[in-house]
């Protein structure tokens, strides 16, 4: 299954530098607003050390990691919801992604212009969030206008929809996001086609200076973002986009040595990718054979037939059963044969909920 995360923020906060580091796609980056005109899309591998372990056990001809899509969306400015800057065009791009990574500038540098003339993370966050809220309020108002006649005629379904829309409208007018509104599955169905911006899960990315990676706890800007994120129940990832761009150019031992010099065990990008993956409630299962060891992405809570369908729709349509070994059990056993002997090889049916790390083989008949 495909999953995408849009990188948003004010101009000149480091979005395109970060995107370049993630994908090495060469998106234009410059010290002026709107250097990114169209959203750049990059597909990246999800770092997962379990693939290496499985490869050592199975020794396949090919290894295929699962992937995640990042979209670099041009800098929003105050008034974007009213068309300021390149406003509505960019807001439309955000509607198409599954989650949002909001990059916030947490470093001082007089050589890099801030669109507001000062570094103020809370103000930056408020600017972006309000523009998203205003855009959603406009969508809700237009929907309310469209169903008003049906409501007056006594249409029950339209009245149910109106109740949900008015609940959201009240939150937006208080400066609250759709995420803050408690909605059950029945209520959510009425607004699904609105593709609200503020209902998407969000994480904050603190972009710090090169020498500030290991000193985030003493960075007042980072602490401000963390406090705000905690009030929303959101996660924070601290990185230096500039350093990540340097790391992205290295491979193998050179990369390991550079990380060691920085006092890091992994890149900030790996943490960001995993955080975005987790944000969307995604998990990974594996197929492992001589031809290939492969990682597959599914939503948490997916049952075996649905997981099989990620490989091919025929697998789901003709699903018979799944043969399953938990990753830890397979690694501990050292081979599928030993795992079988230990009774760790299971047969599961249509109601089985696939767990993160399951190594699976599907039986089907079409």
CATH classification of the domain holding 335: 3.10.20.30
Query: Is the pLDDT score of 248 beyond 70?
Result: yes
**pLDDT at residue 301 is higher than 50:** yes
* Choice among 38-47, 129-138, 355-364 with the minimum mean pLDDT: 38-47
Q: What's the pLDDT band for 212 if we cut at 50, 70, 90?
A: confident
Query: In the chain, how many domains are there?
Result: 3
Answering whether pTM is above 0.85, one says: no
Residues 6+ apart with CB under 8 A from 314: 364, 366
Instruction: Give me the percent of the chain exceeding a pLDDT of 70.
Output: 88
Please give the Cα distance from 331 to 50 (Å, whole number). 9
Q: Are strands 67-72 and 319-326 parallel, antiparallel or unpaired?
A: unpaired
Q: Bigger pLDDT: 116 or 212? A: 212
In this prediction, residue 36 carries a pLDDT of: 40
- Please indicate if the annotation marks 318 as binding a ligand: no
**Ligand-binding site membership of 15 (annotated):** yes
Q: How confident is the model at residue 76 (pLDDT cuts 50, 70, 90)?
A: low
**Residue 12 annotated as binding site:** yes
Q: Are residues 97 and 221 in the same domain?
A: yes
Say if 151 falls within a structural domain: yes
Q: Say if residue 104 is in the same domain as residue 239.
A: yes
Structural domain includes residue 125: no
Does some domain include residue 73? yes
4-8 and 99-105 strand pairing: parallel
Predicted local distance difference test score (pLDDT) of residue 26: 42
- Structure tokens, 28: 């234009």
The mean pLDDT of 183-195, rounded to a whole number, is 90
In a domain, 347, yes or no: yes
Q: Could you report the per-residue pLDDT of 59-74, keeping only the tens digit for each?
A: 999 999 998 888 887 6
Distance CA 364, CA 362 (A): 6
Residues 211 and 166 in one domain: no
Look at residue 235 in the predicted model and tell me its pLDDT.
92
Q: Which domain holds residue 180?
A: 130-194
Q: What's the pLDDT at 35?
A: 39
- Residues 182 and 241 both lie in one domain: no
């Amino acid at each position: 299954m495909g999953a995408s995360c849009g990188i948003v923020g004010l101009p000149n906060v480091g979005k395109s530098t970060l995107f370049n580091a993630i994908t090495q796609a060469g998106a234009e980056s410059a010290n002026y607003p709107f250097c990114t005109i169209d959203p750049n899309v990059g597909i990246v591998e999800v770092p997962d050390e379990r693939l290496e372990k499985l490869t050592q056990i199975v020794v396949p001809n090919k290894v295929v990691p699962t992937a995640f899509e990042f979209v670099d969306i041009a800098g929003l400015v105050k008034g974007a919801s009213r068309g300021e800057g390149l406003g509505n065009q960019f807001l439309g791009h955000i509607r198409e992604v599954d989650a949002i990574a909001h990059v916030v500038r947490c470093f001082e540098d007089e050589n890099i212009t801030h669109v507001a003339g000062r570094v103020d993370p809370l103000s930056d966050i408020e600017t972006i969030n309000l523009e998203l809220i205003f855009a959603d309020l406009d969508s809700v108002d237009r929907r309310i206008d469209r169903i008003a006649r049906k409501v007056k005629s006594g249409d029950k379904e339209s009245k149910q929809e109106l109740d949900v829309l008015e609940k959201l409208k009240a939150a937006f007018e208080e400066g609250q996001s759709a995420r803050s509104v408690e909605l059950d599955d029945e209520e959510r169905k009425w607004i699904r086609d609105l593709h609200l911006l503020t209902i998407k899960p969000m994480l904050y990315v603190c972009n710090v200076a090169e020498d500030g990676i290991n000193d985030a706890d003493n960075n007042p800007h980072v602490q401000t973002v963390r406090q705000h994120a905690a009030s929303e129940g959101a996660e924070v990832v601290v990185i230096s986009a500039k350093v990540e761009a340097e790391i992205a150019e290295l491979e193998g031992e050179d990369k390991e040595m550079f990380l060691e010099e920085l006092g890091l065990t992994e890149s900030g990008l790996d943490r960001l990718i995993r955080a975005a993956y987790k944000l969307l409630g995604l998990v990974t299962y594996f197929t492992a054979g001589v031809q290939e060891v492969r990682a597959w992405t599914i939503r948490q809570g997916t049952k075996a037939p649905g997981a099989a369908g990620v490989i091919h729709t025929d697998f789901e349509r003709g699903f018979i059963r799944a043969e399953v070994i938990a990753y830890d059990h397979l690694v501990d056993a050292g081979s599928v044969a030993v795992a079988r002997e230990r009774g760790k090889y299971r047969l599961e049916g249509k109601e089985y909920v696939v767990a993160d790390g399951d190594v699976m083989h599907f039986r089907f008949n079409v």
